[in-house]
Amino acid sequence: MSLPRLLDGLLVLDFTRVLAGPFCTMILADLGARVVKVEPPGGDEARHYGPMVSERSTYFASVNRGKESICLNLKDPRAQALALRLAERADVLVENFRPGTLERLGVGYERVVACNPRIVYASVSGFGQTGPYRDRGAYDVIIQAMGGLMGITGPETGEPTRVGTSVGDIIPALYTTVAILAALRQRDTTGQGVRLDIGMMDAVVAITENAMARYWASRTSPRPIGNRHPAITPFSTYPSADGYVVVAAGNNTLWQRLCQTIGRPDLADDRRFATNDLRTVHVDDLTRELSATLSTRTTDEWIEVLLAVGVPCGRVNMMADLATDPHLHARNMIVELEQPGLGPFLTPGTPIKAPGFDDILTRPSPEFAQHTSSVLREVLGLDEADIAGLRAARVVE
């Protein structure tokens, strides 16, 4: 018998596409929820995003594992009726269309809640369901820029820089997941469902953290400052003989230990660097000195000697490094899914670890419409003749 998962027994009806919605429902699936992804004829547009391998999108495969795919042609009222019957049985509905789209497809909030007053109906969109920007189109790069993240990321020259993963979608996906689980708690107590409205720009603004506090304190907008910390020094990447080494020596004890260990006791005695605040003031001098020394040995050599004396440090890992990292393997964080058409497909595992609950992912992303028959049979009790009729009438695929 397999181990339980935290969300066993939860049924999620998934009208999501591309990234912000699918990342949320992937987390729910990883935690054991049954996620039924409803795709239009032609499928989630992300099924066409590269790189393609054996005519399958590796992009799609990376954010849809563990879900079941059905195809409903929601332009047909009979498909809308099927969607509402599924919603009647679901605990959660998630969608990330522009505001108003799902209403036009007959699965808007009012119609769904009339069928199932206990449902948690979660919408994630670029700017949310209200406010002046509500109807604007949004993509990750726009959200990272408008949400304030790009303006504080990048080299000291001040060039705003996009985070290399689509955090403009992923941060809202995480907040939507939090919102859904909090709303389910409320629903279980009161019996009343909840409508959720997550705006991607809102979510990115929410993680700007101390940048807003620094703006408030100085009335000056923080600008990009490269890889260093605004108030802790040394705390950055430095060149090594074969790449980079990251050093975070956040207090005087660690600073002294760092200087001794790298053979630079002169820096430990240097008055410019006597306190963290002075080190931050003289960060350019300090960076020059540390770089001159750290660039003489390899990253691995430095990490070995610094870890031995307890100075926090690390390496800049590329994807190839992650794929072979012994710690990540020990934590079930590097997974090979048997993905139809792709074979063993490499993907990150779930970071939610709870002893006694399964964290080993085995279910791949679904082929398009792979589960139409099984879901209509198991969830709605249709028989094969019903399903064949719906298929012939192009209500489902």
According to CB under 8 A, which one of 40, 41, 59, 89 is a site residue for a second copy? 59
**Could you say whether residue 222 binds a second copy (CB under 8 A)?**
yes
Structure tokens at 314: 């690390």
- Please say whether the beta carbons of 150 and 140 come within 8 A: no
**Could you say whether residue 125 binds a second copy (CB under 8 A)?**
no
**Could you say whether residue 286 binds a second copy (CB under 8 A)?**
no
Rg (CA), the chain: 25
Task: Specify the stretch interacting with a second copy by CB under 8 A; choose among 77-85, 240-248, 259-267, 286-294.
Answer: 240-248
Tell me whether residue 76 is exposed, middle or buried, using C-beta atoms within 10 angstroms of its C-beta: 0 to 12, 13 to 18, 19 or more: middle
- Please say whether the beta carbons of 265 and 289 come within 8 A: no
Phi, psi of 385 (to 5 degrees): -65, -45
- Residue 7's DSSP bridge partners are none
CA distance 153 to 138: 20
In the block, tokens 């209500």 appear at 395
For 11, the 3-state DSSP assignment is strand
- Tell me how crowded residue 351 is: count the other CB atoms within 10 A of its CB: 11
* Closest distance to a second copy from the beta carbon of 86 (Å): 21
Closest to a second copy by CB, 360 or 393: 360
CA 10 remoteness from chain centre: 21
**Could you say whether residue 381 binds a second copy (CB under 8 A)?**
no
* Closest distance to a second copy from the beta carbon of 371 (Å): 22
Nearest alpha-carbon partner for 172 in 199, 134, 208: 199
Closest to a second copy by CB, 184 or 259: 184
Closest to a second copy by CB, 181 or 305: 181
CA distance 348 to 389: 40
Task: Specify the stretch interacting with a second copy by CB under 8 A; choose among 68-76, 168-176, 266-274, 366-374.
Answer: 168-176
**Could you say whether residue 153 binds a second copy (CB under 8 A)?**
yes
Window 33-52: residues binding a second copy (CB under 8 A): 49-51
Q: Residue 240 corresponds to which amino acid?
A: S
Window 312-371: residues binding a second copy (CB under 8 A): 312-323, 326-328, 330-331, 333, 345-357
Q: Is 282 a catalytic residue?
A: no
The binding track of 78-117 with respect to a second copy, each residue x by CB under 8 A or -, is: ----------------------------------------
Structure tokens at 169: 């979608």
Among residues 229, 327, 329, 371, which one is catalytic? 229
Closest to a second copy by CB, 133 or 389: 133
The binding track of 172-211 with respect to a second copy, each residue x by CB under 8 A or -, is: x-xx-xxx-xxxxxx-xx----xxxxxx-xxx-xxxxxxx
Specify the DSSP class assigned to residue 278. H
* Closest distance to a second copy from the beta carbon of 62 (Å): 4
Phi, psi of 14 (to 5 degrees): -115, 105
* Closest distance to a second copy from the beta carbon of 336 (Å): 9
Write out the catalytic residue numbers: 229
